[in-house]
């Protein structure tokens, strides 16, 4: 999928500078800005947190990311994507050990532009209760709507949000699944706009399939979403794998573009969570703790 | 225009445009609401925001006598109380979980939604039958000028175009637009109904070009 919207159209709601909250914590993070496989000399004209950037590759395939005034931005290549930052990252990009495991297929799903907060896009990815209603007959189906108890926590040692023992009944859990199964999941949030999902792998019960959501914040209420997968699946064609994941995400987009407010409310009171939302509660708490508030709404603002 | 302290009725849709078992977004001056009709025909109007995770309720679905949110399926009764949370089938939702609702009336073929607490009933449309609705990119004043008649307190404008009586119900919309419900004399034949429809299209164009020429944005 290619981005249709121009950047002028894309960023209508930027706060004037005097209102801009300090987003230093998020400015110093790494973000996905393009696919390595699509690097070219003419470059991808895009944006990062309101600043126009250009992502290009030289003849040798080395990526180059330049900011609004032509300054060279930090760059890294990881998980099929080019990553950059407007600030000075103090940490490396989070690690996904499974990405180095032999036998996995890596799937660059491409980009989906969504008119929503980057944080809302991640929160939706962490949610299973919507499966029967949004991904009907694929990832969920009535009457199997119950969300059983699971564990969600902020892990102090790694400073990441983790949800484990998440189980859900799925009519067709993946492209390679035939018939309904109860799928088990683990969710992980290692960076404010990135999430890694570990999911039952039908062909190899001892392993987990890895599906990630890398979100590029274009503005506080606009993002490019880059799903990426590392799967044990030798059967399904690459095209089918990509289409399956794109279909799922387009269904999510129809939700994300119609949530009010568009920014993620971090203070309690605006929205009502239940036990099924423990991951979302931990994610919001973790964002607030780290001042990861680009794309968030605070009462104080 | 009325003062903000009194309640009033807004004609939001033709009754015929809201079949049983459906939900639609309806625009009021203050924003969008979710307007729905249950399977047995009861109309209800609620805020267009689900209190769970903010999803627009007008994107939801109606089953039986309840409106459900499309995101996680939370369902609401006509009084706005949450009746079911599918993720927790055994749980009776606490009474505090509810959506704001508006008083609503289905009379004379028009669905009226209350803002505040109106002093009386929606206006009588005696002798007129709804024909269609359309939106003009012009405000009430521009439409009055084009029609050569003023709307009354309830937004009801009665005029005569080319020998034909027309009743227009005007509802203010965001961004200076106006929703127009067109009513013709009850018992009008097909030719008269087509003529009425064309007259109002013309009226809309006049009002739109007048307000754009005036440079009032
Ligand atoms: S947002 Fe409406 S049910 Fe979750
Ligand atoms: Fe989803």
Model pLDDT, residue B30 = 84
* Mean pLDDT, residues B144-163: 92
Q: How far apart are CA A166 and CA A131, in angstroms?
A: 13
HEC assignment per residue over B39-62? CCCCEEEEECCCCCCCECHHHCEE
The confidence score (pLDDT) of residue A202 equals 78
Q: Is there a single domain that holds both residue A149 and residue A274?
A: yes
| A170 or A86, higher pLDDT | A86
What does DSSP assign to residue B123? P
**Does B111 share its domain with B13?**
yes
Separation of alpha carbons A286 and A155, rounded Å: 10
What is the distance in angstroms between the Cα of A61 and the nearest Cα belonging to chain B?
42
pLDDT(B212) > 70: yes
Of A53, A84, A115, at which residue does a domain stop?
Answer: A84
Lowest mean pLDDT of A11-20, A149-158, B41-50, name the range.
Answer: A11-20
pLDDT at B85: 98
Query: What's the domain range around A41?
Result: 3-84
Domain check: are B81 and B136 in the same one? no
Instruction: Give chain B positions within 8 Å (CB) of A261.
Output: 54
Provide the residue range defining the domain that includes B137.
128-213
Q: What is the pLDDT of residue A108?
A: 97
Q: What is the pLDDT of residue A61?
A: 84
- Tell me: do A104 and A241 sit in the same domain: yes
Q: What is the ipTM of this complex?
A: 0.91
Task: Say if residue A4's pLDDT is above 60.
Answer: no
How many CB atoms are located within 10 Å of the residue B81 CB? 16
> Within 13 Å and on the Cβ side, how many CA atoms surround A216?
28
CB-nearest to B72 from A133, A258, A270 is: A133
High-pLDDT (> 90) share of chain A, %? 81
Distance from CA of A110 to the nearest CA of B (A): 25
Confidence grade of residue B154 (pLDDT, cut at 50, 70, 90) = confident
Q: What is the mean pLDDT of residues B76-101?
A: 97
Average pLDDT, chain A: 91
Task: Please report where in the chains the tokens 């001892």 appear, as a residue.
Answer: A206
- State whether A77 and A121 are in the same domain: no
Instruction: Using the atom order of ligand 1, give the atom closest to the CA of residue B72.
Output: 3
CATH assignment at residue B38: 2.102.10.10
User: Is the pLDDT assigned to residue B216 strictly greater than 70?
Assistant: no
């Amino acid at each position: 999928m290619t981005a249709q919207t121009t950047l002028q159209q894309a960023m209508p709601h930027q706060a004037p500078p005097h209102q801009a909250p300090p987003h230093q914590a998020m400015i110093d993070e790494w973000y996905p800005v393009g696919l390595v496989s699509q690097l070219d000399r003419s470059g991808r004209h895009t944006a990062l947190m309101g600043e126009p950037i250009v992502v290009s590759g030289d003849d040798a395939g080395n990526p180059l990311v330049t900011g609004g005034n032509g300054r060279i931005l930090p760059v890294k290549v990881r998980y099929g994507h080019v990553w950059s930052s407007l600030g000075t990252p103090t940490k490396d990009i989070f690690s996904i050990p499974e990405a180095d495991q032999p036998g996995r297929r890596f799937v660059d799903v491409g980009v989906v532009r969504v008119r929503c907060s980057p944080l809302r896009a991640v929160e939706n990815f962490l949610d299973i209760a919507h499966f029967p209603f949004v991904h009907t007959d694929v990832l969920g189906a009535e009457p199997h709507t119950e969300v059983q108890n699971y564990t969600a926590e902020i892990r102090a040692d790694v400073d990441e949000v983790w949800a484990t023992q998440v189980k859900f009944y799925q009519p067709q859990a993946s492209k390679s699944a035939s018939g309904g199964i109860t799928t088990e999941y683990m969710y992980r949030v290692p960076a404010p706009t990135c999430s890694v999902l570990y999911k039952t792998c039908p062909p190899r019960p001892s392993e987990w399939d890895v599906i990630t959501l890398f979100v590029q914040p274009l503005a506080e209420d606009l993002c490019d979403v880059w799903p990426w997968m590392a799967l044990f699946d030798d059967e399904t064609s690459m095209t089918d794998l990509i289409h399956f994941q794109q279909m799922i995400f387009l269904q999510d987009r129809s939700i994300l573009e119609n949530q009010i407010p568009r920014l993620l409310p971090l203070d309690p009171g605006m929205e009502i969570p239940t036990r099924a939302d423990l991951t979302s509660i931990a994610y919001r708490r973790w964002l607030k703790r780290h001042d990861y508030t680009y794309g968030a709404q605070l009462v104080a603002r | 225009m009325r003062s903000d302290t009194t309640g009033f009725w807004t004609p939001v849709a033709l009754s015929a445009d809201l079949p049983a078992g459906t939900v639609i977004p309806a625009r009021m001056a203050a924003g969008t609401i979710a307007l729905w009709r249950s399977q047995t025909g009861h109309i209800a109007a609620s805020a267009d925001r689900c209190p769970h995770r903010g999803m627009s309720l007008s994107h939801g679905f109606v089953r039986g006598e309840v409106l459900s949110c499309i995101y996680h399926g939370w369902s609401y009764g006509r009084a706005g109380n949450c009746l079911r949370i599918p993720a927790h089938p055994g749980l009776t939702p606490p009474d505090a979980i509810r959506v704001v609702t508006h008083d609503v009336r289905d009379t004379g073929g028009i669905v009226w939604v209350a803002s505040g607490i109106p002093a009386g009933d929606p206006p009588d449309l005696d002798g007129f039958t709804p024909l269609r609705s359309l939106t003009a990119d012009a405000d009430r004043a521009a439409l009055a000028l084009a029609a050569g008649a003023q709307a009354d307190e309830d937004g009801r404008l009665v005029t005569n175009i080319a020998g034909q009586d027309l009743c227009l119900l005007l509802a203010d919309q965001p961004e200076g637009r106006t929703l127009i419900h067109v009513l013709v004399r009850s018992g009008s034949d097909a030719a008269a109904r087509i003529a009425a429809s064309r007259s109002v299209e013309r009226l809309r164009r006049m009002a739109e070009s007048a307000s754009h020429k005036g440079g009032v944005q």
